[in-house]
Structure 1
Amino acid sequence: MAEYLRRRELYVAERKDRLTRAVVTATTAAAVAATVVGVSGAVVGLPTVVAVQTVLGVALVVLALAATRFLRSPSEIESWREDAEAERRTARALDRLVRAGYTVLHDRALADSAGNVDHLVIGPSGAWVVETDAHRGPLRQNRAGLWAGKVPLRAMLGLVTWMGEEVTNHLVAELPDGWQLQAQPVVAFSRAELPHGLALLDGVVLLPAAGVADYILAAGVVLKPLDVAMLVDVGERAFPPYPVDEPAPTWPAMSRLRGMLGR
């Protein structure tokens, strides 16, 4: 969700920068179109009232089309908006874990990376890295990997696996010696259909978004309350809220993300 907000803010700022040029361009286009229509009307002998109405109508149509095109959000922004809405639904489903002694950290920055963790869940059953996927269609697997409908998910799974490893490494680095911890990566599908409702692929748990909280609760108890409190404290410090109003950082680790996304 934070990534969508960042991209929307950048798009709004860019559109504001283009506003003056867009107004000049639209006004010029409307004037040219009106002139052409006016001259054509005079040539064919249109009555003055009809000619004026036609010229004004053409100018208004041109301005309306220009305004619609300028104000329309790009398809990429709309796609990010849909993803953000799916993340919000997952967040609401996870927040009920709080009553069971869990802490849910939403939209957390990943150190040394421009990426973010959708949801980091910490509680009696351990640490969970939950990423939301909003693709549609039934999930299926073949030699080329996992698919949601006609969309390949191999790169997404690789990214989620990497995030789980990074979260584990950062948490363990801040914990006292002797801690044994493995943050479990989970993909919460908000729209795709899982044939059996649950799957485990390359160490990543695949679940419907509505069933993630129940799965975490059913995982059992591996941490004592004091251990949970310590882990939450480390998690909040190691993974601060993802910044929305700052330029996206560039880090050496991003080359690893790009490599995975290119597979």
Structure 2
Amino acid sequence: MAEYLRRRELYVAERKDRLARAVVTAAVVAALTVAAVSVFGAVVGLSALVVLQMVLGAVLVVLAVAAARFLRSPSEIESWRHDAEAERRTARALDRLVRAGYTVLHDRALADSAGNVDHLVIGPSGVWVVETDAHRGPLRQNRAGLWAGKMPLRAMLGLVAWMGEEVTSHLVADLPEGWQLQAQPVVAFSRAELPHGLALLDGVVLLPAAGVADYILTAGVVLKPLDVAILVDVAERALPPYPVDGPAPTWPAMSRLRGILGR
């Protein structure tokens, strides 16, 4: 969600920079259109009123097309918007866990990483790293890995598993000595069809987005209220909110990500 907001703000800023050039281009095209229509009207002997009507109509068409092209969001921004909407639905489903003693932190930044954790859930059943996936199609697995329709998900699963490891290491680093902790990575599918509603693949739990909260609630109790409070306090410091404004975080560990995506 935060990444979509960042990209949208960058696109809006870029579009403002392009405004003057777009206005000049539209004006030039409109002027050329007026000239062409006027010449055509004179050649075929149309009346001045008809030529004027044709000119006005052509100019309006040119301006409408220019405005549509200028205001249209690129396909990648639309794709991020769909993903952000799916994340918001998952967030609403997870927020009901608060009544059961859980804390849900959304869009948390990882140190030394340009990425973000969609949802971090901390409560009696442990620590959960929840990432939303908005791909369509039935889930299937073969020798090449996991697929949602025709979209391969192997790299995404590797990235989510890596996020779970990173969250674990960040929390343990700030916890008192002797703590045993393992954050469980989860992929919440907002549109893909899971064959049996639940699967565990490469250490990552796969669930329909609507069923994540119930699964977390029924996973058993492993943390006491005091443990939960300590973990939340550490998580707030170690995993701050992902910044939307300003420059994107640097990623010294980019080679690690490329290795994951290349699997």
TM-score, length-normalised on structure 1?
Answer: 0.98
2:18 is equivalent to residue 18 of structure 1: yes
The yes-or-no answer on 1:108 pairing with 2:108 is yes
Trace 1:161-240 onto structure 2 (pairs within 5 A): 161-240=161-240
- Code of the residue aligned with 2:42 in structure 1: it is A
For residues 86-105 of structure 1, the aligned pairs below 5 Å read: 86-105=86-105
* Number of the residue aligned with 1:41: 41
SS at match of 2:187: strand
Count of residue pairs brought into register by the alignment? 263
1:135-185, CA deviations, whole angstroms, 9 ceiling, x for partnerless residues?
111000111110111111111101101100000011111111111110000
The residue that corresponds to 2:124 in the other structure is: 124
Label 1:26 to 1:259 Cα distance change in 2 as closer, same or farther (>3 A): farther
Match of 1:54, SS?
helix
SS at 1:141 equivalent:
strand
Displacement, 1:260?
Answer: 2.2
CA positional deviation for 1:247? 1.5
Task: Work out the CA distance in 2 between the residues paired with 1:213 and 1:51.
Answer: 66
Task: Determine the C-alpha separation between the residues in 2 that align with 1:26 and 1:261.
Answer: 42
SS of 2:250's equivalent in the other structure is coil
Question: 4+ residue stretches of structure 1 with deviation over 3 A?
Answer: none
- Give 1:250 shift: 1.9
Query: Which TM-score applies when normalising by structure 2?
Result: 0.98
Alignment of 1:142 with 2:142, yes or no, is yes
Cα separation, 2, equivalents of 1:26 and 1:55: 15
SS of the residue aligned with 1:46? coil
Corresponding position of 1:5: 5
User: C-alpha separation between the residues in 1 aligned to 2:12 and 2:260?
Assistant: 30
User: How far 1:41 moved relative to its partner?
Assistant: 1.3
**1:57 aligned onto 2:54:** no
Please identify, of 217-226 and 196-205, the stretch whose mean Cα deviation from structure 2 is larger. 217-226
1:28 is displaced (CA, Å) by 0.5
| Distance across 2 between alignment mates of 1:34 and 1:261 | 53
**Which residue of the partner structure matches residue 73 of structure 1?**
73
Gaps of 5+ in 1: none
Deviation at 1:255, TM superposition (A): 2.5
Partner SS state of residue 104, structure 2 = strand
Aligned with 1:185: secondary structure? strand
Deviations 1:40-98 (A, max 9, x none): 11111111111111111111111110100000111111110110010010001001111
Measured in 1, the distance between the counterparts of 2:261 and 2:166 equals 16
Partners of 1:97 and 1:113 in 2: CA distance? 28
Q: In structure 1, give the amino acid aligned to 2:98.
A: V
Secondary structure of the structure 1 residue equivalent to 2:195: coil
Query: Partners in 2 of 1:86 and 1:134 — Cα distance?
Result: 6
